[in-house]
Structure 1
């Protein structure tokens, strides 16, 4: 049924700024699509996953209404420090959730909580 994650949608106040921050952090290009109404959808791709940023809308897509996505990383502590240095804020963890498996959550500069998970 589910074969893997293809797209993670984040609802943001400024989709293009959000995408550009992630593009710079990850060293990947940013793609931007401007719709007929002027709404901007912007995205980056990493690890075969599209990380997309759609305009927040209080009625349909409120900021923070998306799930926390955990990205697989090789070193939770090192990636956490890199994210903090890039402008993220501590949210939760790091926590050991079982032997050999750790997680942490951070809030990006735009308010979205992201998770990292690794050994």
Structure 2
């Protein structure tokens, strides 16, 4: 991104361009350079860490178990599934964001998730471009989104 100005500019450590003289309100806006943001982890609150880890290994059979400083998590294609104990501040269940996973066959994955105890919570429903979506549950009531062709 190229910014032309007759005023001197300061580039901050956060890749933002800030005018050094803020005497004009018309130029007082801070322009930030676009930065790549990529999701790297999903924190999943469960009541039982061992049961959660065992179940998520079945749900994501290609996951790699990783342990760093006594913290065990699952890595799925460079994305971390981090299981932590639910508590009074953040419980488990259907009360927030849902991460959607791209699948090759929604019908196959729905059957596979049901075979390990999931309930189809929402869907399946057609969305766009011959894609379908649904939400399934884990044993703790959390939701997992699945998206792909039926």
Q: What is residue 101 of structure 1 aligned with on the other side? A: 131
SS of the aligned residue for 2:107 comes to helix
- Unmatched 5+ stretches in structure 2: 1-34
1:9 paired to 2:43: yes
TM-score (norm 1): 0.81
Q: Which runs of 4+ in 1 moved over 4 A?
A: 31-35
1:20 aligns with 2:54: yes
- CA gap of 1:52–1:4, structure 2 versus 1, over 3 A, is same
SS of 2:113's equivalent? helix
Q: Which runs of 5+ in 1 are unaligned?
A: 36-40
Matches within 5 A, 1:1-119: 1-27=35-61, 28-31=63-66, 42-58=72-88, 60-64=89-93, 65-119=95-149
Post-superposition Cα deviations, 1:25-73, rounded to whole Å, max 9, x if no partner, equal 33334346787xxxxx542111211011111111x21223541110110
Q: Distance in 2 between matches of 1:90 and 1:32?
A: 31
Identify the residue that residue 38 of structure 1 maps to in structure 2.
none
Question: 77-86 or 60-69: which moved more?
Answer: 60-69
- Counterpart secondary structure, 2:127: strand
Provide the alpha-carbon RMSD of the alignment.
2.1
Could you tell me how far apart the structure 1 residues matched to 2:51 and 2:112 are?
A: 19
Which is strand-richer, 1 or 2?
Answer: 1
Q: What is the number of residues matched between the two proteins?
A: 113
TM-score normalised by L of structure 2: 0.66
